Chains A and B, each alone.
Chain A
Amino acid sequence: MKQGKGLLEVKGLRVAVAGNEILKGVDLTIRDGEVHAIMGPNGSGKSTLAQVLAGHPAYTVLAGTAKYEGKDLLDMKPEERARAGVFLAFQYPVEIRGITNSYFLRSALNALRRERGEAELDPIDFLQFLEQKLRAIGWDDSMMNRPVNEGFSGGEKKRNEILQLAVLEPRLAILDETDSGLDIDALKTVAETVNKLRAPNRSFLIVTHYQRLLNYITPDVVHVLADGRIVKSGGPELAHELEAKGYDWLRDAAMVS
């Protein structure tokens, strides 16, 4: 899958948080329509990469570049990235007190529609639009009238991220451990949503610890991030190998190289 132009091109990215260098030179190119998986030990920097691509202000870029659709992604505000089609499903979704899920989703969708020069949806049109998306993830609208993520179970929060993915239809979707804490049915729902959304002009970066998800979503490329660097990349078979052997052999390999 080396054809197609690079939707996301990350080069030599070094990132620090709270004074500690976490990403120590990451290179990553994702082309249109590709699905990339990132695996790696706890604390290796996977979420840091995801957050920095979404524009979290707590992370300091020390060096390197990230181009999205040929533009300097790192120079864009988080909301500008989102409006340009970047979406991050959070590893730890945030609770928003007092704002209902449906109000939040509509505000987000309308922000994107404004950007695209489309008319905003009023509450009634939005509910109609939402209904099919809800059905796809097996929810009724009772979840929509609750404050965003407040009191949601771990699995419900993850499902809510997937609902947002389905509603916002991004061009680059970054899923940070969306499969963690999900039961089997929910996992299938996530996979189905992603598979349904797979398209020649839509790409995915999926952070996961488990081969399980990749049984349903076949990635084009699998990367291993260890200690702030991508130490190995390969095809779907790499995920199986990691499942069998763990990360230690790669860490040693990285030290040697």
Chain B
Amino acid sequence: MVAVERLVGAYNTWATNGASEVPEWLKDMRSGAIARFESLGFPNMKQEAWRFTSVAPIAEGSFEQAKPPARIPTLEEIRPFLLLEAGYRLVFVDGFFQRALSTPFFDDVQSLAHVVTHRQDLVRQHLGKYAATEDRPFSALNTAFVNDGAFVHVPAKATIAEPIQLLFLASGKPAVTHPRNLVVLDREARASIVETYASLSHGAYWTNSVTEIVVGEAARVDYHRVQRESPGAYHVAATQTHQGRDSTVNLHMVAFGAALARHDIGAVLAGPGGRLILNGLYLLASQQHADHHTTIDHAADHCESHEYFNGVLDDKSRGVFTGRIIVRPGAQKTDSKQTNNNLLLSTDAHADSQPQLEIYADDVKCTHGSTVGPLDPRALFYLRSRGIGEHEAQQLLTYGFAAEILGRMEVAPLRAQLDGIVRGRLAEQ
């Protein structure tokens, strides 16, 4: 309760002082959201959606609202976190847009704070329309503090050739940031995007982000997300997609940072013929805890969704995966497939995997499966019998677990970069 009051107090101060120069509708949205957060409070483990994850360290931590960074990092300092040299990019430090480090594109690849006034109609049409806040205290809190983040708009039939990078860096100070991102692809538009969370130094800070991705008719987005926060960080996030008729969304989620991470991923297939790939990888070690809570909502007929999540868990880490699939009445000819495989590299590591299928249509194909277990001894022997040493064989099999996910990324330069990052991460173990 204390924590909730403190956050509401911080909101009140901020709303009266620093955040007044925004349109009325946004002020209303914020004040509605803080009221929502106040009534919901922090989630607890008695709630079904939070059974395996305690947010006590976040609720009990005293995170200040982030201030603009005292020192802006140089391009050299942020280069290790940039996956590609070319292409548009938006860089944020402690939640604040860094124009000098960014390469925006007019009002289409821009800071959200800028377009809130410059493209008010478009932002107002979409912002907050997809990410639920009714039963999501963290999303409500993010919406209350909505201020800046990344905005990407791809007009009808346009293709942005190079991947767009959205980079959120933490200075490491014990503060909370609420990045808010909005991605809108009009009909037949195409883009690939990578959203990265990382830290310039070790520290215990809290990121509470929300990303809404709206994909118009026959549009396609390849969306990558890399969560490589500092080992002491808390990362709470919601990603929500909404796709129209005949559109394609490929979501690739790679998570290996933070002490405690919770990512709610929601996808709504709102028009017939939509195709979704939700492809995720979590690599955890020491005492890391990562919870992926996914909901795929087949709201229209003739849609396909393929969900694959692999987890590699070492030491005393814990991975939680919930895969909820909803097939609405009338969503006939739905083709939905879900797998969650967890590799336990230590006897102290633990994985929870729970599929939740809610099917209200009869002419559908839905399959799901999950595994939790150590490296396959048969595979290990097979590799060793070919001359590959035991340790190398273990590493190869572990990498294979990750590579299965990476292999589904179709944007070659990003796949190659993420492959390198994942290899680096596995080599640390």
Q: Which residues of A contact B (CB under 8 A)?
A: 54-58, 77-79, 81-83, 87-88, 90, 93-99, 104, 107-108, 111-112, 115, 147, 164, 168
Contacts and interface: CB of A to CB of B under 8 A. Distances in A.
B400 A77 contact: no
Given A55-B384, A79-B389, A99-B400, 17 more contacts: A58-B377, A79-B393, A87-B385, A94-B376, A94-B382, A96-B383, A96-B400, A97-B404, A98-B402, A99-B396, A99-B399, A104-B386, A107-B386, A107-B388, A107-B396, A108-B386, A112-B387
Interface of B: 376-379, 381-390, 392-393, 396-397, 399-404, 407
B382 A93 contact: yes
Contacts of A112: 387
Nearest to B407: A98
A138 to B, nearest CB: 22
Contacts of B400: 96-99, 147
A100 to B, nearest CB: 8
B241 to A, nearest CB: 26
A62 to B, nearest CB: 20
A140 to B, nearest CB: 19
Of B376, B377, B382, the most chain A CB neighbours within 10 A belong to B382
Contact of B381 (A57, A83, A98, A168): A57
A98 B401 CA distance: 6
A164 B387 CA distance: 12
Contacts of B381: 55-57, 78, 94
Given A107-B392, A147-B404, A95 B379 contact: yes
A137 to B, nearest CB: 17
Contacts of B387: 79, 82-83, 108, 111-112, 115, 168
21 contacts: A55-B384, A57-B377, A77-B384, A79-B388, A81-B385, A82-B384, A82-B385, A88-B385, A96-B400, A98-B402, A98-B404, A98-B407, A99-B400, A107-B386, A107-B388, A107-B396, A108-B383, A108-B388, A111-B386, A164-B386, A168-B386
Contacts of A58: 377
Nearest to A90: B382
Given A56-B381, A78-B381, A107-B396, A97 B388 contact: no
B138 to A, nearest CB: 33
A96 B402 CA distance: 12
A96 B386 contact: no
B401 A78 contact: no
A111 B391 CA distance: 13
A182 to B, nearest CB: 20
Contacts of A168: 386-387
A19 B68 CA distance: 68
A257 B383 CA distance: 41
Nearest to B382: A94
Contacts of A57: 377, 381
B315 to A, nearest CB: 22
A170 to B, nearest CB: 10
Contacts of B389: 79, 111
A54 B386 CA distance: 10
A93 B383 CA distance: 11
Q: Across the A-B interface, give the 3 residue pairs with the lowest CB-CB distance, nearest first.
A: A98-B400, A82-B387, A98-B404
Nearest to A168: B386
Nearest to A89: B385
A182 B384 CA distance: 26
Contacts of B382: 90, 93-94, 96
A174 B392 CA distance: 24
A88 B377 CA distance: 17
A78 B387 CA distance: 7
B356 to A, nearest CB: 25
A79 B396 contact: no
B403 A99 contact: yes
Contact of A54 (B376, B385, B388): B385
A107 B387 CA distance: 9
Contacts of A147: 400, 404
A90 B347 CA distance: 30
A112 B384 CA distance: 11
A87 B382 CA distance: 11
Given A56-B381, A90-B382, A98 B403 contact: yes
Contacts of A93: 382
B390 to A, nearest CB: 7
A148 B267 CA distance: 32
A29 B382 CA distance: 25
A58 B377 CA distance: 10
Contacts of B392: 107, 111
B310 to A, nearest CB: 8
A147 to B, nearest CB: 7
B415 to A, nearest CB: 13
Contacts of B407: 98
A102 to B, nearest CB: 13
Contacts of A81: 385
A83 B376 CA distance: 22
Contact of B384 (A78, A90, A95, A96): A78
Contacts of A104: 383, 386, 396
Contacts of A83: 387
Nearest to A109: B387
A168 B383 CA distance: 13
Nearest to A92: B378
Contacts of A79: 384-385, 387-390, 393
A93 B400 CA distance: 17
Given A94-B379, A96-B382, A77 B390 contact: yes
